[in-house]
A and B are shown apart, each in its own frame.
Chain A
Amino acid sequence: MKKKSSLKKKAKKLLVLVCLGGVGYLLVKLLKTDAAKEKLFNILGEDTYLAIEDKAYLLGDLLMWPIDFVRALLP
């Protein structure tokens, strides 16, 4: 019984993670559209928006390093 409930818990956690990942992915996709960028620019103001955008691009670049490294290992 204990084993079953812990498996259930793990499955739930996994589901939550997958959902969060999916929402995150869709959010990033949405934020990358020109309309969303224009909206954010108006809401945040040009200086804040441009500072955040710059950091986001740098973060994206750095995240690609391990991804490229792992990709190179794939057959």
Chain B
Amino acid sequence: MMLFLARRTAALVVAVLLASFVVFLIPYVTPGDPMRKIIRSRVAGDAIDGSAVEALSLQLGLQDPLWTQYLRWLGRFASGDMGLSYTSRTPVVDQVLPALWVTLSLVVLTLAVAALISVVLGITAALNEGRAADKAITAVSQAFIAMPEYWLAPMLVLVFALELSVLPSAGWEGPTSAVLPVAVLALRPASHFTSAVREGMLDALGADHVVAARGRGLSHFHTVRKHVIPNGLLPLTTLVAVWFAGLLGGSVIVEVIFAIPGMGRLLFDGVLNSDIPLAQGAVVVVVGLAVLLTTAADLVHGLLNPQVRMRHA
């Protein structure tokens, strides 16, 4: 198990370093002169003379080799210094942390709702394979999987916020404001989870050991509860973690539409305003978290599956 952990951690570090290097390169490959942006962010007024650029470049160490610059940048980043935002002229960290908190709440809530719905529907569908309930659940989940958020979100706002006026159309204050964004965001993972739970349950139902359990005198109900459901839900754990990572960055559209001050929103603003430090900070945090979650998913899967657990023990 220790070896397994060590190997996973090493892979994790490499992934994060690779991502950070790409992020580090952004200002070097984006059009427009970052130097002028930096100066503009620090000095009032539009006039920038060549000597100031020269001096700043020297001060920032831009004449050093690329890898020295990268290491320096990485060191500052690791110690929590993500630089100053060009637009707000405040430290990026102070914007990233609150936004991260908002996004995490949104995503966790979304996944909880999606998992709950999918477990109920997926198990119902599998236990009624081929009957009307199964067909209805499968058809609906297939339909929702194809429904884009940028279409669904305005539709829901139109109905619940504008026509019925029962829910707020935007913002992030109080539980009611979370209903619409969570509903929109949960729809696709819920559909995906439902079909995964259904498949997992069907596999688990068809396993030979289920016949053996009945052969020992366990009732159908008891067999399903003890031998089918736990095995059938196992694929869901990995899937939830994958979606967790995906939603951290994928919530951009929903956060923008519902004006939620989360990471997606921050990233969106950073990119739109060419606010490079802000974008860099947001991307590195999201990527780091995503990699961490994927690794956590592997570990959880290992803990739940003795065959994986023992192989690495």
**A and B from one complex:** no
Residues of B at under 8 Å CB distance from A?
none
Residues of A at under 8 Å CB distance from B?
none
